[in-house]
Amino acid sequence: MQLTKPQQTVANDKNRFRLVAAGRRFGKSFLAIRELCYFARNPKTTNYYIAPTYRMARAIAWEPLKERLAELRWIKKVNETDMRIDLVNGSKIFCRGADNPDSLRGIFVSGIVIFDEYADMDPSIWTVMRPAMADKGGHAMWIGSPKGKNHFYDMFIHGKTADKWSAYKFTTLEGGNVPAEEIEDARRDMDERTFKQEFLADWVDYVGLVYYAFSEEHVAKCVDPQVQEVYIGMDFNVDPGSAVISLRDKQGLHIIDEIEMRNSNTFEMCDEIKKRYPNSRVHVFPDPAGSARKTSSITTDHKILSNAGFNVHVRRSHPPVKDRINSVNSAFKSGKLMIDPQCKSLQNCLTKLSYREGSNEQDKNSGLDHMPDALGYMVEYLYPITKIQPPRVEPARWAINAPPMRRFG
């Protein structure tokens, strides 16, 4: 896969600091790996790839990076545990997560540091990394899809006018990796605000109601409910523990029931589900944090659900909050999500939960976020907005064509 024209424009830019806001499947991570290789060609440079989490760094960049460097025959040594690659010219490339910024203190960057999906990171990561570049003249690149007018937006605006900075914005269509008809299909499936953010790379201003796509049109009795199999979204909290129960068919999900338990734990939630649906096959889509979190002192929440005989479906790491919200709004718009009139608490939360003034964060002080969170874990898992698959990268056609490096000495 060769660089597209927009990617080549960014690659040819010699400014020290570059920002790229782009739609989904633009090829941002592909560009990131290309840049790492480009800077690592210089002898004895230190380079970093940083994703929002350690797991994401391994899942997104680690394997493609190793494949490319192996093809170039540049690799001297690979440390799988530390996600570090030593090259034969003395350069090093590290893959890291931004979920623990303090772990990056004390390092230095003489090549480039790349922040992939910067909008999903703690903005303090830049205050940690900036001093690491000062004495060695390192470069930096921020890439990702917009997530409202947050710290990525602020950095982008700064980059448009600051000296030695560049800021680029590209749509998914401009990326050239997704056919126009596929993008139009996505436009029909998604709510307008989500589509503008995910495919047009617009800085959507998140104000007002969080679940603005929900309306009275989405409230209806479930006709002839068959409860042999139920699908449950769950948010772990002691006060309250929240769950939404749904049926699923070809049209989507129909929420038929809700559970809100005060001063409770996951054992009690399981008992309540079994009491209401004793003969049903139960699928639970819980908060991913439950793999480690305990609302009781005995074992983890996920283990409690499994031991209760429930089928647990969960992502390995937390999906970004915005992805959950966008998935729910998209499901409402596309008609994939309906709610029974008896689910009063869920309806109340959806119609009242708003963003904090001057922020793109939900107003958690309102106490209205738990039930929608339970819904979001399930909907995002079943109907993720990132349904368009990236193109397969053929290593032999990467943009950097270089002979094998020679060892020094």
Q: In this predicted structure, what is the pLDDT of residue 105?
A: 83
Q: In this predicted structure, what is the pLDDT of residue 358?
A: 64
8 A C-beta contact, residue 11 and residue 34:
yes
CATH 3.40.50.300 segments of the chain: 5-193
8 A C-beta contact, residue 112 and residue 140:
yes
Residue 301 zone, left/alpha/beta (φ > 0; ψ -120 to 50; rest): alpha
From CA 125, how far away is CA 118, in angstroms rounded?
A: 9
Q: In this predicted structure, what is the pLDDT of residue 357?
A: 74
Q: In this predicted structure, what is the pLDDT of residue 389?
A: 47
From CA 182, how far away is CA 84, in angstroms rounded?
A: 37
pTM: 0.67
From CA 236, how far away is CA 264, in angstroms rounded?
A: 10
Instruction: Specify burial of residue 97 (Cβ count, 10 A radius: 0-12, 13-18, 19+).
Output: buried
Structure tokens at 256: 């038929």
CATH 3.30.420.280 segments of the chain: 216-382
Q: In this predicted structure, what is the pLDDT of residue 296?
A: 58
* Highest CATH level, class, for 216-382: alpha beta
Q: In this predicted structure, what is the pLDDT of residue 297?
A: 59
E strands, 153-310, in order: 165-170, 229-235, 241-249, 252-261, 281-286
Residue 219 zone, left/alpha/beta (φ > 0; ψ -120 to 50; rest): beta
pLDDT tens, per residue, the chain with 409 residues: 578 889 999 999 999 999 999 998 888 888 999 999 999 999 999 999 999 998 899 988 999 999 999 999 999 999 999 999 999 999 999 999 998 887 788 888 999 999 999 998 988 899 889 988 888 889 999 999 998 788 999 999 999 989 999 999 999 998 888 889 888 888 877 777 778 888 999 988 767 889 988 998 999 988 767 778 999 999 987 678 899 999 999 889 999 999 999 888 899 999 999 999 999 999 999 988 755 555 555 788 899 999 999 999 998 777 778 788 889 998 998 899 999 999 999 999 999 999 887 666 788 888 899 999 999 999 999 998 754 444 443 333 344 554 444 443 3
Structure tokens at 22: 């782009």
Q: Does domain 5-193 have CATH number 3.40.50.2300?
A: no
